[in-house]
Structure 1
Amino acid sequence: MTAERVAIVGAGLTGSLLACFLARRGLTVALYERRPDPRVGQPERGRSINLAISERGLDALRRIDLVDQVMADALPMKGRMIHPVEGPLDFQQYSASGARAINSISRGTLNNALLDAATQAPGVEVHFEHRLLELDSQGGRMVFETPAGKVEEHADVVLGADGAGSAVRGALLAEGILNEEVDFLDYGYKELSIPAVGGEFALDPGALHIWPRGTSMMIALPNPDRSFTCTLFWPAGSFDALSNEGLIERHFAKEYPDLLPLAPGLVDDYLHNPVGVLGTVHASPWQAHGRTALIGDAAHAIVPFYGQGANCAFEDVVELDRCLDDTAGSWARALPLFEHRRRENTEAIAEMALANFVEMRDKVASPVFRLGKRIEHALERALPGRYVSRYELVSFSTTPYAEVRQRVHRQHQFLAAAVLLGAGVVGAAARIARSERRVRDTGGRR
């Protein structure tokens, strides 16, 4: 039976998109957010981490006719621009054709657009400054702390879309319904900014910029106002070592020499922007009683190094909507089915995101890595549709993440076998050539 009232805890990206999908089904949706309305007032400093929306996210937006509106301010990035300590920049295109791009958009801009769509959807009500204090996962009873005091609410279904630090997940954990494991990465992040110069971009806006430094890195993504949002990813604790202006400027002059002239506010950003934490959330199960469930980062937060956090969460929304279709709107059947279909895929992208951190941090500046990418793109052009790189499958298709992992493993096995076979053929040819030379040199005598 279709629920009469659905509560979504968390009005971030996932919760707002989910509200739009459920409103389309004719459901009454109550969206609860602990923060004030982000569309008014100033955004929280240093907490944006620009998003890279790719095909999975775009697919979700297309399904509710929001892609053109939401992506109006997005900036396409067709590849990585590598910034070495010394030497020229190196552009590495993402796709074999060079035509495909991921799209830079600020988290705040995207969230505001989705919130606008949700508040305009029939049957959706949004409550800001509602922090979840209590949850009865079986009865659908919720208690929120608000500026006016505690309020009690009820719903037929409660969906936790409240991020990596989910209060809904915490309530299920307290009830003894689920187990969780949070694997914190031994790295933190801090944001910096590169402003526009004379009204123009200071760097190429068609690329995701990376400063790989082995054990650390910095990235920069373009914004519509022609600035860039930079994010430092450094080992935990290393931020504290740069405690004053002189230390900061000397370090950046040594490690990021091309950044200093472009970032006049670098020291202020560094000293005052917070250090964020990074981690992977593993929770099981994602649902209880067929009426309370987790979705997006609340169920399976991942590190941001494949640009798939929001894309994966949006794909969650599409899959939950599909499960409701496949179960004739029965939440009791749809929620377990959703977890069954998605868990393997979210575990796969969590693994690939960690692996991509190593690639971005350690490998992209390597001549061997660049050669490998050229070979990979050549294979994609020579074998269209048969050989497709992991990056293209993850970013430019909706192939399930678990299938991507399996397919890439098979492709790598094929390549390894081809290399061995080629080496064997070359070796045999060399032996034959040597034998023929010996025969010629001896006048045909054996």
Structure 2
Amino acid sequence: MTLFSSAAAPAGSASAASERYTIMGAGLVGSLLALYLARRGYPVKVLERRPDPRLAGPIEGRSINLALSDRGWRALEGVGIAEQIRQVGIPMYGRVMHDVAGNLTSQPYGQNNQAIYSVSRAGLNRTLLELAEAMPGVEVQFSQQCLNVDLRTRTLELRNTATNEVHNHEFQRLFGADGAFSAVRGALQKTDRYNYSQSYLEYGYKELNIAAGPGGTWQLEKNALHIWPRGQYMMIALPNLDGSFTCTLFFPYEGPHSFAALQTPEQVQAFFQEVFPDAVSLMPELVEDFFQNPTGSLVTVRCFPWAFDDDVLLLGDASHAIVPFYGQGMNAGFEDCTVLNQLMDQYGQDWHTIFREFQRQRKPNTDAMADLAVYNFEEMRDRVADPRFLLQKKIESKISAQYPGRWMPLYSQVTFSATPYAEAWAAGQQQDQIMQRLMPHIHSEADYDRPEVQSLVAAEMKAKS
């Protein structure tokens, strides 16, 4: 394919064809990794537990929309497909908050028309799969459930879920990109001194839908992520190309306002009418969606090491699943592919060094991103409706414009830069302390230009540098 002709296998990689690579998982990260490896001339076999998603149709109620930001775009550019994806994404330039009375406030995401993009998970996965399968040397097999990984003999025991036949597959090098409940990681967890933890929020999520208007028009502002913050819970909505919005209700499992408390159609209708009145009129299938779509759980996974010798490496959610509140789960997984590709450029086929450096670089950053995701949940749920919070964000934007290069808002560092997550989180915490000192002196946007406030800001910037 001419799309990849500029990135053929690197010079000196004559042994590339003798290397055999197995990727467990044909989701977003596994498919993208297959493209990166295939560009180097490596034979790649991708094994996926699910049936072919291009034939099976969408999985209703499962994270239909994702937010692509700079780290994800950089990874897609690395295999030459960013523009193709951009054509089927919808830019979202900021948040629009809906209060209980239906009043709207907005907050831009960044500067100079910076946007995150709403993309279809299923559509993006289909595109990546088709591009991977079109590459020479790539084979994708679906309905392959991994029953066991024998690290000693480098053998996978697989069950074909369509035929129930069990067979073995020998691997030379195995990449586990098989999600938060990874079978490959399960094998590593049985090795000596393996660290693993999983932590669930007391919240679940449910996918709902805002219908398209007449002629496929959008009934809310198209180029925004919509949030209905309600203190202990919230609903968000991302736009789709067909004029609809995919909504996600993040809601406690138990309590007076919870999934457990909504058991009948009448209770659901009454609750949404009271709490989300401007949305419920746009949701004709609310009751059906609520009871038909599953309630998903929200888990953070941390583990280490991610590598076993130079035989096995974990990527994406298999090594660092996070909750979705910064829109960085997919972007962090895609950035794994970028970093791994850079290390392959640097170290050739010295896989022991590549794997060691990969986990050394990525582990602190994905741990930081896990903390950031929970932090942003609390911010989106509790603070985005607070006028003082919105004023603080405007003041931060003014500081950033006045001191470019010395102040970048935390969200921009995470979303619109390649700053390592751990560095962004540390800088964000420092800047939050500065804002706590400044905000008692600022009661309106105009206050920022007062000489005494400018002096305080200048002093903080001097101390910061």
TM-score higher than 0.5: yes
Inter-partner Cα distance in structure 2 for 1:213 and 1:417: 27
Bigger Cα Rg: 1
Map 1:116-195 to 2 at 5 A: 116-146=130-160, 147-148=162-163, 149-176=165-192, 178-195=194-211
User: Contact (CA 8 Å) 2:392, 2:435: kept in 1 or not?
Assistant: no
1:4 to 19, 26, 38: 19
User: Contact (CA 8 Å) 1:26, 1:123: kept in 2 or not?
Assistant: yes
SS of match in other structure, 2:407: coil
Query: How far off is 1:70 after superposition?
Result: 2.2
User: Contact (CA 8 Å) 2:62, 2:207: kept in 1 or not?
Assistant: yes
Q: Which residue of 2 aligns with 1:24?
A: 39
Equivalent residue letter for 1:264? P
Q: Which residue of 2 aligns with 1:380?
A: 400
Inter-partner Cα distance in structure 2 for 1:68 and 1:426: 47
Equivalent residue letter for 1:164? A
Change (3 A) 1:86 1:333: same
Query: How far off is 1:140 after superposition?
Result: 1.9
SS of match in other structure, 1:234: strand
Inter-partner Cα distance in structure 2 for 1:410 and 1:275: 37
Inter-partner Cα distance in structure 2 for 1:311 and 1:328: 25
Inter-partner Cα distance in structure 1 for 2:155 and 2:321: 26
SS of match in other structure, 1:7: strand
Equivalent residue letter for 1:387? W
Query: How far off is 1:154 after superposition?
Result: 1.1
Percent of paired sites with the same residue = 45
Inter-partner Cα distance in structure 2 for 1:68 and 1:80: 24
Q: Deviation per CA, 1:411-432: give whole Å up to 9, x if none.
A: 345555667999xx969x9xxx
Could you tell which deviates more after superposition, 307-316 or 38-47?
38-47
Change (3 A) 1:93 1:178: same
Equivalent residue letter for 2:174? V
Q: Deviation per CA, 1:300-357: give whole Å up to 9, x if none.
A: 1000000000000000011111122222222122111100011111011111111000
Inter-partner Cα distance in structure 1 for 2:358 and 2:290: 42
Map 1:159-238 to 2 at 5 A: 159-176=175-192, 178-198=194-214, 199-237=216-254, 238=258
Equivalent residue letter for 1:121? M
Inter-partner Cα distance in structure 2 for 1:249 and 1:392: 38
Equivalent residue letter for 2:25? G
Aligned residue pair count = 426
Q: Deviation per CA, 1:67-91: give whole Å up to 9, x if none.
A: 0112321000000010100152111
Inter-partner Cα distance in structure 2 for 1:7 and 1:155: 6
Change (3 A) 1:419 1:357: closer
Inter-partner Cα distance in structure 2 for 1:412 and 1:197: 41
The unaligned stretches of length 5 or more in structure 2 are 1-14, 443-450, 456-465
- Per chain length, whose mean CA-contact separation is higher, i.e. which structure has more relative contact order (CA < 8 Å, sep 6+)? 1
Query: How far off is 1:180 after superposition?
Result: 1.2
Query: How far off is 1:267 after superposition?
Result: 0.3
2:88 to 43, 66, 73: 73
Equivalent residue letter for 1:160? G
Q: Which runs of 4+ in 1 moved over 4 A?
A: 413-422
Task: Say if 2:376 is the partner of 1:359.
Answer: no
Equivalent residue letter for 1:183? S
User: Contact (CA 8 Å) 1:96, 1:378: kept in 2 or not?
Assistant: no
Change (3 A) 1:27 1:177: farther
Equivalent residue letter for 2:101? E
Inter-partner Cα distance in structure 1 for 2:313 and 2:239: 35
User: Contact (CA 8 Å) 2:365, 2:421: kept in 1 or not?
Assistant: yes
Inter-partner Cα distance in structure 2 for 1:200 and 1:41: 28
User: Contact (CA 8 Å) 2:392, 2:439: kept in 1 or not?
Assistant: no
Task: Say if 2:393 is the partner of 1:393.
Answer: no
Could you tell which deviates more after superposition, 333-342 or 176-185?
176-185
Could you tell which deviates more after superposition, 337-346 or 233-242?
233-242
SS of match in other structure, 1:184: strand
Could you tell which deviates more after superposition, 134-143 or 190-199?
134-143
Q: Which residue of 1 aligns with 2:7?
A: none
Give the TM-score normalised by the residue count of structure 2.
Answer: 0.88
